[in-house]
């Protein structure tokens, strides 16, 4: 029988994480570093990436390679792949974490449905779904020859459930259709790729619940009351899910969506 320590050990394995310097991405990067993996961290801001690289290398003494890339653009994604393919002969784990979440200041995003723009719809789909598909397609040749290889797509509970509009009433927060629908597409992409890439590469999804990030107090109160655990999620809640799906703990698990939502969708 294999020990848990051996199943969890990622030493000698290489993991690529997109959106690595963001609030979720940095925690995912920390988790994989702690498990012993070498990392390829990717994001738009090279300054933030290099700061994260120094912090993790000092703490965990693993090898970390940082690459600047705006994954919204196909040319940037192809350029990134060429650089990585030239440097590395294998890849054990791909985490498609980067996501288009927009902002309250972006026209046609944080608006009622009637005012949501086609431009922001297209941008959200390009980052949340098309880029994930493209990276899976590009990196499959490296993944299929590597030990314990797997892909983890970071989705959302809104990829599975329709919004409860009552929690948004009398707040400044909206739920753009493009976010939910692109995440739903990501969920099904996971199933498609799990069947297509089998048995060489496992493909799974993690769907977090809403993260607490200084939202309207009424929104937070109503959201918490909808969950069984009576709180919004935090980035650390994803560490266990990532460790399970990225390592050999889940070597017989593929095509699954692991919801980390505090019981929202029971």
- In whole angstroms, what is the distance from residue 91 CA to residue 94 CA? 8
For residue 14, the model assigns a pLDDT of: 98
pLDDT at 214 (0 to 100): 86
DSSP string, 143-203: HTTSTT-EEEEE--GGGTS---GGGTTTSS----HHHHHHHHHHHHHHHHHHHHHTTT-EE
Q: What does the pLDDT look like over 101-136, one tens digit per residue? A: 876 678 899 899 999 999 999 999 999 999 999 999
Q: Tell me the chain's radius of gyration from C-alpha atoms.
A: 18
In sequence order, what are the beta bridge partners of 154?
206
Q: Label residues 214-252 b or e (16+ Cβ within 10 Å = b).
A: eeeeebbebbbebbeeeebbebebbbebbbbbbbbebee
pLDDT reported for residue 105: 74
pLDDT at 265: 86
Give the pLDDT confidence score for residue 104 in this predicted structure: 60
Q: Give pLDDT, residue 172.
A: 86
Grade residue 236 by pLDDT with cuts at 50, 70 and 90: very high
Per-residue pLDDT tens digits for 168-214:
999 888 899 999 999 999 999 999 999 999 999 999 999 999 999 88
The per-residue pLDDT for range 217-233, each reduced to its tens digit, is 999 999 999 999 999 99
Cβ atoms 144, 198 nearer than 8 A: no
Domain ranges of the chain: 12-260
Would you state the pLDDT for residue 140?
98
Per the prediction, the chain carries an average pLDDT of: 96
Give the model's pLDDT for residue 106: 84
Decide if 125 contacts 99 (C-beta within 8 A): no
E strands in 19-81: 38-43, 64-68
Superfamily of domain 12-260: NAD(P)-binding Rossmann-like Domain (3.40.50.720)
Of 4-18, 41-55, 163-177, the range with the lowest mean pLDDT is 163-177
Torsion of CA 73, 128, 27, 232, to 10 degrees: 150
Question: d(Cα 247, Cα 209) in Å, to the nearest integer?
Answer: 23
- Is residue 1's pLDDT more than 90? no
Of all residues in the chain, the percent with pLDDT exceeding 70 is: 99
Question: What does the pLDDT average to over 73-93?
Answer: 98
pLDDT of 142? 98
Name every residue whose Cβ is closer than 8 Å to that of residue 204 and which is 6 or more positions away in sequence: 150, 151, 152, 153, 190, 194, 245, 250, 253, 254, 255, 256, 257, 258
């Amino acid at each position: 029988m294999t020990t848990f320590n051996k199943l969890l050990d990622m030493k000698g394995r290489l993991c690529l994480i997109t959106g690595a310097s963001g609030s979720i991405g940095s925690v995912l990067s920390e988790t994989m570093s702690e498990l012993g993996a070498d990392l390829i961290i990717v994001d738009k801001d090279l300054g933030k990436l290099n700061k994260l690289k120094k912090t993790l290398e000092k703490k965990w003494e693993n090898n970390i390679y940082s690459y600047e890339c705006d994954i919204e653009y196909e040319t940037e994604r192809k350029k990134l792949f060429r650089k990585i393919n030239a440097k590395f002969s294998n890849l054990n784990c791909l985490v498609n974490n980067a996501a288009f979440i927009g902002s309250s200041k972006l026209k046609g995003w944080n608006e009622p449905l009637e005012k949501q723009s086609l431009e922001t719809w297209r941008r959200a789909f390009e980052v949340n779904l098309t880029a994930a598909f493209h990276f899976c397609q590009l990196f499959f040749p490296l993944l299929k020859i590597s030990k314990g290889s797997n892909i983890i797509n970071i989705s959302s509970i809104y990829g599975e459930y329709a919004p409860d509009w009552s929690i948004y009433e009398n707040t400044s927060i909206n739920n753009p259709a493009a976010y939910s629908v692109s995440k739903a597409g990501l969920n099904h992409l996971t199933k498609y790729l799990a069947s297509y890439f089998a048995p060489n590469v496992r493909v799974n999804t993690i769907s977090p619940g809403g993260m607490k990030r200084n939202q309207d107090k009424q929104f937070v109160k109503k959201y918490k009351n909808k969950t069984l655990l009576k709180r919004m999620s935090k980035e650390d809640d994803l560490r266990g899910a990532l460790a399970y799906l990225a390592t050999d703990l889940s070597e017989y698990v593929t095509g699954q969506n692991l919801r980390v939502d505090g019981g929202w969708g029971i």
